[in-house]
Chain A
C-alpha cells in the first residue's frame, strides 16, 4: 500500500530537499516500520527523528492522518492505505 510522509522545512535537507515522500509499504505496516524504511533511505533524517534505541525524539511529533501518534499506539500504530504522516517539531524551548 502507498503512504505519504510530509516533512517540515527544517528536515527537508536531510531527505534530499523533498517536502513529500511517497512510500510503498506492506499492508498493515506500522509507523515504526515506515520509519525503519525511511532510515534505510535517509539515515541522517532518521537520526533527527529517533535515537539509538529507536525511541521517537521527545519534541518531534508524528501525526497519522491528523492524530498525534502518541494518542494512538505510538510507533506501533497500524497504518491504512493512503495514510498521511505529517512530521512536525513541537512548539517548545525558549
Chain B
C-alpha cells in the first residue's frame, strides 16, 4: 500500500492508495497543530510527526498503528539547555539504523535519537559552532530544515539552515564545516560568503551520496563532491527561485523542482502549475503539467515535495492553498489527491 503523509498548518492527513491514481484520505489527525515535519519508517512501521501547538508548544509524536493512536514521552522528546526554548521541529530524518533518527529544529540545531525517534539529545558540536551567533533568520525563522545522513557512512551528515547555509560533519557531529562554495548570497555585502546563505532545501541521492541538489533563496545548484563545491543548474528553469528540490529515488541524475517567479512574487510563472524535471543532473529541464491546474496562485514549500521508492517512482507535492498532487509515473501525469486542506507544509511518501 502507498502511504502519503500530509503535514499542514492545522494537522496531519494520511492518504492511502493501491495505484497512486485514486486516494483515500483520512484526517485531520493531531488537529490544530502545525505539522512541519513528518517521517514514515516503513520498517516498523512508525509515523513520526513534529507538531507545534500555538497554545502548548512543540513536541514530537509517534504512532505505531498508522496514525490511529499517538504517543509522546512525559519528559520533552527534544529540549534545549535552559537558556533556549524549542520553537519548532522542521525535519525528522531516518537513517539505515532504525533506532537512529535526527531532528532539525528552530532555533537552528540538530538533535539525535537512539530510540527510534521518541527521545533526542542535542548534537553539541553544531550547537557550539563559533558561527552560531552569526546565523540569521529568514521570514520563516532560523532553522535547520534539511538533515541528510550519508547512507554509506554513519559518521557523515549534511545539514542546511535558513539563514546560515550548508554544514557538514565527517565525525558523527563533533565538528562541522561550512560548505557553501559557489552558492550566492545576493542579499549580503559579500555575495559568496563562507556561510550565511539562505538555503531552502538540499536533496541527496540515496545511492550516490556525493550527488546533492540545492534550492537557494535565488539559485539552484548541484554538487558532485558531497557538497564541497556547488555549480549552478538554474539555466533552463523559468526562475531560479523556489523552495523544494527532490531527487529521483533510483537515478541520481533525475531531479525535480518547482520554480516560482521571484522572491517578490512567489507564484509559479503565469499561475501555471508545473513541476520541472531534469534527466541530466540539471543541465536541461522540462515542464511537466499533464493533470495540473492553471490559475495556481500559490506556492509549494520546502518540504512539500517528495518522491517515493517505488518503480516507476512516484512524485508528490502540496500547496499552501491545501491541494496535493501525486504522479505515479515519475512526473509524466498527475492526479489530485485532495484539495481544500489547510496550508500544506510537508509531504512524505512510503510503501507500508
Q: Which residues of A are at the interface with B, using a C-beta cutoff of 8 A?
A: 10-11, 42-44, 47-49, 51-55, 57, 59-60, 89-90, 92-93
Contacts and interface: CB of A to CB of B under 8 A. Distances in A.
Contact of A53 (B54, B72, B85): B85
B100 interface: no
A59 B75 contact: no
Contacts, number: 51
Contacts of A60: 55-56
Given A47-B57, A52-B85, A57-B55, 7 more contacts: A42-B74, A43-B74, A44-B74, A47-B76, A48-B56, A52-B80, A53-B82
Interface string B65-100: 000000010111001111111100000000000000
Given A52-B82, A52-B84, A57 B74 contact: no
Contacts of B59: 47
Given A51-B86, A52-B80, A59 B74 contact: no
Interface of A, secondary structure class, is: loop
B74 A53 contact: no
The interface centre, meaning the residue of A44, A51, A54, A60 with most chain B CB atoms within 10 A of its CB, is A51
A68 to B, nearest CB: 15
B85 A51 contact: yes
Contacts of A11: 56
Contact of A57 (B57, B80, B82): B57
A53 B57 contact: no
A36 to B, nearest CB: 13
Contacts of B72: 44
Contacts of B83: 53
Contacts of A54: 82
B32 interface: yes
A20 B3 CA distance: 41
Nearest to B86: A52
Contacts of B32: 93
B225 to A, nearest CB: 38
Contacts of A48: 53, 55-57
A43 B72 CA distance: 12
Interface in B14-34: 32
